[in-house]
Structures are given as C-alpha cells and as structure tokens.
Amino acid sequence: MSKKKNKQNKVRTEFRKNYDSRRRKNDFTKEFGDGDKNLDDLASQERVSGKGRWTRKRTISGDHSDETQSGFDVTLQVDANAAIEGRVLRVHGLSTIIHTAQGEFECSIRGLLKSLATDLQNVVVAGDWVRVVPAAENQAVVVRVESRRNFINRTSRGRQQVIASNIDLALIVASVQEPALKPNLIDRFLIAAEKANIQPIIVLNKVDLIDPATIQPLIGVWGQLGYPIVSVSAATGLGIERLRELVAGRDSVATGQSGVGKSSLLNAIDPTLKRRVGHVSDDNSKGRHTTTTAELIPWIGGGHIIDTPGIRQFQLWDVIPEEVEGYFRDLRPFTHQCRYPDCTHSHEEDCAVKDAVADGWIDVRRYDGFLQIRSGE
C-alpha cells in the first residue's frame, strides 16, 4: 500500500511540474515495439511510461494511429492540483465510469472533446489511466489522459476503434464447438495482439463437447509457432486452474466472438464475478451503436480482466497488405527467397512460400488464412 502511495505522490509532483511545460512526448510505442516482448519488459515499461513524458494534446491531424497513443492534458476550469489518479472501467456513449481510490466516478466525455476541439473517437477507453477532479457526488472531471502503454484496436465501419488499453495479456478465446472453431479469426486476433505488443494466449473452450484428440493437429500448429495455448472447459472446470495462474495479478483482455464462453470462463476463474452468461453483448437494440463496450473488471486475487462483448467480426486496423506476411511467423523464413521481391505469394512463379506449403513446411490452413487477410477480406 505504501508503495502505491509513493507512486501517486510522484505522479502528482510530476503532474505539477509538467503541467505547463507542454513538452512533446517521445513516440513511446515505437520505441517499445523494437524491444523484447516478454512479460517482464511489459511490466517495467509501464513504470517508465508513467514518468513525465507527455504531450499537451494528441496529434489529431495525422492519419497514423499515433493519435491514440500520446497522453494529453485537458484545459478546463478546475483546480488541477486536486486531481487524483483513476482508471477507466467502461465508456457508455458520452459518459465514462472511472475507478479511483476514492470510489467510482462518472465523467462526461463531452468536456474532453470540447477541449480537444475534435470529434476524435477513442478519446478514452477501458484501461486508460486518467486524472480526475471530483466534483458533485459521484461526478468528476477528467483533467488528464495518460499515454497508453499499448492498446488493441480494430476497424469498425471504416474507422479505427480502440477496444482497450494498457494490457499485459490478450486471451484469445474460441470454442471448439457451438460456435464452431474459426482458426482464421484466431490468426487475426494473434496479429492484432502482436502488432500491439501484447502477449497472446489462445484459449480453446468447451473441450467437454469433443474428443480432445480431434483438435491436436490444430493446437500443434500454433504451439510450434510459440503461441501459448490452453484447452479448457468452463463447464467441467478443466484447465481453469492453469488459466487462473496465467491471469493472476495481470491485466488481460478477453477477445473472441460472442457465445464462445468468455463470461463463463471469467466466472469459472473468479466465482465472485457472477457475469451474465448467454447474454449477447451490450449492443444498443436499435443497432446504431454496434461498437463494443469493453469493461475493465478487477479479479478478486489482483489484476484485471477486460471483457469485450459482441465482437462478431474482427477487421484489422492499419495493416497494409505488404505488412501481413511479417505477422505470420511461419511464412517469414521463406518470404525473402521468392523470385520477385514484391511477391504476394499468391499467383507468382518461383514463390518460396508456395513451395514451402507444397513441401509441408507451412500449414495449408495458415497459408489460406494469410491470403485471406492479405486480400483485405
């Protein structure tokens, strides 16, 4: 606890010191992207990122995803010295619920958007660290949004949607049946996690419904690529203890299509949660708000899980076709051996990737998935 206090004081001092300096922050995420991806690094980078490197405003004009990464201060008529640290639990329309040491507050995002003079989406998302000044009962004003250590995003109606931020682990949840396993969807989530420098874990749920031997070949392919993968059943409890150990004390995001058992798994890991099961998403019934409402939930044993209901389809954001092969670990050893340097590995002659598929070095299903993602489907 005293450790926590120290950190807060430090941040507060930094906050005062930098409030008017309006320095530009280094591109933290880029620098991070070059580094080692192990979990310890993820954790230590978080500590570094909290220290005084921030910018007054996000870059709004650029078309690059940087705009969702830099911290910024908000110019509002409140006593910024009274600000306390908080974390965004969830965002509902123009209101956001923020957890602080003094309890939960509801904050309006309207003020934030006004301050930024933009209709920028994703101004705050579940997992964001912020500073707020408590106002009326249960109401507070956001005066600062900290830089995001990392974030997971997708394309939604042609625009970027940031789903959640400041994450250690991405639990890519799929069910082996009901709904049927969609390996290509898992590959998409793997790319999104890799791009965001978030350690992925593939979680195959509902193994009680099948003979485990039937999914071994599939598991083997991802396993050989070095992706951690666990077979579980929320219904029987199989594999839950292992999962509980993996998520303990960390901040994870659970992704996966509706119905695969995300809420059931959360309940199995932490029975105090009592998440609603078999309930399809938070989507507005009129279908206007098809955006995902992610929610940051504390585990009873420490750490958090971000539940992301309602992701039916996962379109990657800001991945150009030429970039896709770089995210396929199994293709990478071959892509530089093709005859044409700009080979798309689809129709070309003397394509080392196609040869590797024919020779059994690359799994056919992974190759098909690569072609699908590369073509922008």
The residue written with tokens 């570094």 in the block is 48
Give the residue with the Cβ less far from Mg ion, 252 or 263.
263
Cα three-residue angle 82-83-89, rounded to 5 degrees: 145
**Interaction partner, residue 351 (ligand GDP, Mg ion, Zn ion, none; CB < 5-8 Å by kind):** Zn ion
Distance CA 218, CA 224 (A): 10
Give the residue with the Cβ less far from Mg ion, 166 or 263.
263
Q: Could you say whether residue 231 binds ligand GDP (CB under 6 A)? A: no
Phi, psi of 295 (to 5 degrees): -140, 125
Residues 249-268: x/- map of binding to ligand GDP (CB under 6 A)? ---------xxxxxxx----
Window contacting ligand GDP (CB under 6 A); options: 11-19, 46-54, 206-214, 328-336: 206-214
Judged by CB under 6 A, the residue of 43, 113, 181, 235 near ligand GDP is 235
Give the 3-state DSSP-derived string for 299-366, with helices as H, strands as E and coil as C.
CCCCCEEEECCCCCCCECCCCCHHHHHHHCCCCHHHHCCCCCCCCCCCCCCCCHHHHHHHCCCCCHHH
> Residue 320 corresponds to which amino acid?
I
Give the residue with the Cβ less far from Zn ion, 185 or 338.
338
Give the residue with the Cβ less far from Mg ion, 86 or 309.
309
The least distance separating ligand GDP from the CB of residue 240, rounded to whole angstroms, comes to 9
Judged by CB under 6 A, the residue of 62, 226, 271, 278 near ligand GDP is 278
Q: Could you say whether residue 308 binds Mg ion (CB under 5 A)? A: no
Q: Could you say whether residue 263 binds Mg ion (CB under 5 A)? A: yes
The least distance separating ligand GDP from the CB of residue 205, rounded to whole angstroms, comes to 5
CB 174 within 8 Å of CB 205: yes
Window contacting Mg ion (CB under 5 A); options: 59-67, 116-124, 167-175, 263-271: 263-271
List of E strands, the chain:
72-73, 84-92, 95-100, 103-108, 129-134, 139-145, 151-156, 159-165, 169-175, 199-205, 229-231, 251-255, 295-298, 304-307
Residue nearest ligand GDP, CB atom distance: 261
CB 128 within 8 Å of CB 167: no
CB 19 within 8 Å of CB 73: yes
Binding residue count for ligand GDP, defined by CB under 6 A: 17
Q: Which residues bind ligand GDP (CB under 6 A)?
A: 205-206, 208-209, 233-235, 258-264, 277-279
Q: Which residues bind Mg ion (CB under 5 A)?
A: 262-263, 309
